[in-house]
Structure 1
Amino acid sequence: MPDLHDIEAVVFDVLGTLVDEPGGLRTALREALPSGSVEELLAVWQRHVGREQHRIAQGDRPYAATDVIDAEAARAVADGAGLTDPAAIARLATAAHRLPPWDDSAAGLARLARRFPVIGLSNASRSALLRLNAHAGLLFHQALSSETVQAYKPAPEVYRLAIATAGCPPERVLMVAAHAWDLRAARATGMRTAYVHRPVGDPPTTTDTFDGHFNGLDELATALTVG
């Protein structure tokens, strides 16, 4: 079992790690466009979001929160599929507010929160994160949006926000994510790292050296609370 006895605070990625982001988007796309090809529409959405966040990271676009980028993605999907109903497009733009949690997310957070300060750290905007957490039943001691630092993960300032909020040395803050890219960036700022397997995640490679690998939050909570 990994040695995580000296951890003082636990930070969770949200999108993909605690909620099924692609699954929730598929549901919203089916609702808006019952006859459309969901996988093609999802690819349009994901390409737009990825491209625009990359442009912001490269300095080619001023920071825009996920509310703005998701609205653009919804419009791109609508334009490509011939959707013209303003109400349907507006609802599609807020699909990220209604993503379903993984089965172990709420209970795992609650178990850890009895022993540690638990912090959410997400690229979702403040307002989107608020509504998503309420919808999915995710209860943090504090939920942080990267909007606060006007950047997107994996920018180092996002992780430094979590470290500053935790109020302890980075080597005593554990970053938990289903995305290896997220953990690599957290590790570069001095945080400890734990990979949790999810069907939609980005698994570690053979060269990644994270502090723990877990099949779910119950396994993670046991590793952190034993002893």
Structure 2
Amino acid sequence: MTHALVFDVLGTLVDEPAGIRAGIQDAAPHADADELLRLWQHHVETEQRRIVDGSRPYVTSEVIDREAAQLVADACQGDLEKLAMAARRLPPWPDTVDGLARLAERFPLIGLSNAGRTALLGINAHAGLRWHQALSAEDARTYKPDPAVYELAIRVSGVAPERLLMVAAHAWDLRGAQKAGLRTAYVARPVGDPPSASDHFDLHAEGLADLAEQLGEA
């Protein structure tokens, strides 16, 4: 029996690339926003990976996002302050707000994000996300898929990991949750990391409404 749902936020509930791209376009209207977005994303992914593997001391997502914003600003002569705030102004997917409300009628909802505490507060407020509990990887001083991050949700829930369902649009995130003992649900998003042929997740959903229906049937 599922006791609570644990949600990834970036990419799963909010369209992170769209929000950052909009910030880049606002700060540097004539620049190639897609190219600069790739520069931003590559920096964030690389630095978080370095922290997880121990080759860089922990810093919050706000620090890494500002580094990325500085790289973009240097490349396009854009406004650094506008760029630095882009990572918190992320639009929700069309089904996010209603889907969370529907699921919250039956389950406790836990947000579990690589975003730092301050960034997560801004993301939640801007996108209108409503939680019973919002957890940041900052409390584990590492990033997903480090098992210590999933342990935050296990401790808060007070139940065995197999009674938690991790919901994400990223197969790498779900693999990390599986290693920590959580059940898994992949939700398809245009910007996610689709499962490979070797992945075996408990549920596959086309969106939050589909997820709610499958959980209702279960």
TM over 0.5: same fold? Answer: yes
Which runs of 5 or more residues in structure 1 are unaligned?
1-5
Is the contact between residue 115 and residue 225 of structure 1 (CA under 8 Å) also seen in structure 2? no
String of CA shifts for 1:121-155, please: whole Å, max 9, x gaps. Answer: 00001011011111101101000000001000000
Partner of 2:19: 24
Find out whether 1:130 has 2:125 as its counterpart: no
Deviation, 1:226, is 3.5
Give, in whole Å, the separation in 1 of the partners of 2:85 and 2:59.
15
- Aligned positions of 1:208-227 closer than 5 A: 208-226=199-217
Overall identity of the aligned pairs, in % = 59
Q: Give SS of 1:161's match.
A: helix
Give the Cα separation in 2 of the matches to 1:225 and 1:166: 21
Query: 1:166 Cα deviation (Å)?
Result: 1.1
- Counting only pairs closer than 5 Å after superposition, residues 172-191 of structure 1 correspond to structure 2 as 172-191=163-182
Q: Which letter does structure 1 place at the counterpart of 2:84?
A: A
In 2, distance between residues paired with 1:171 and 1:48?
A: 34
Match of 2:34 in 1: 39
Query: Could you tell me how far 1:224 is from its partner in structure 2?
Result: 1.4
Q: Number of aligned residue pairs: give it.
A: 218
State the Cα deviation string for residues 157-211 of structure 1 (Å, max 9, x = none). Answer: 0001111111111111000000000001101111000000000000001111100
Which stretch shows the higher mean deviation, 29-38 or 47-56? 47-56
Residue 115 of structure 1: CA displacement? 1.0
Residue 160 (1) aligns with residue 148 (2): no
Instruction: Report what 1:81 is aligned to.
Output: 76
Gaps (5+ residues) in structure 2?
Answer: none
| Match 2:7 to one of 9, 12, 24 | 12
Counterpart-to-counterpart distance in 2, 1:58 and 1:197:
28
**TM-score, structure 2 as length reference:** 0.98
Q: Which whole-Å CA distance do the structure 1 matches of 2:38 and 2:122 have between them?
A: 24
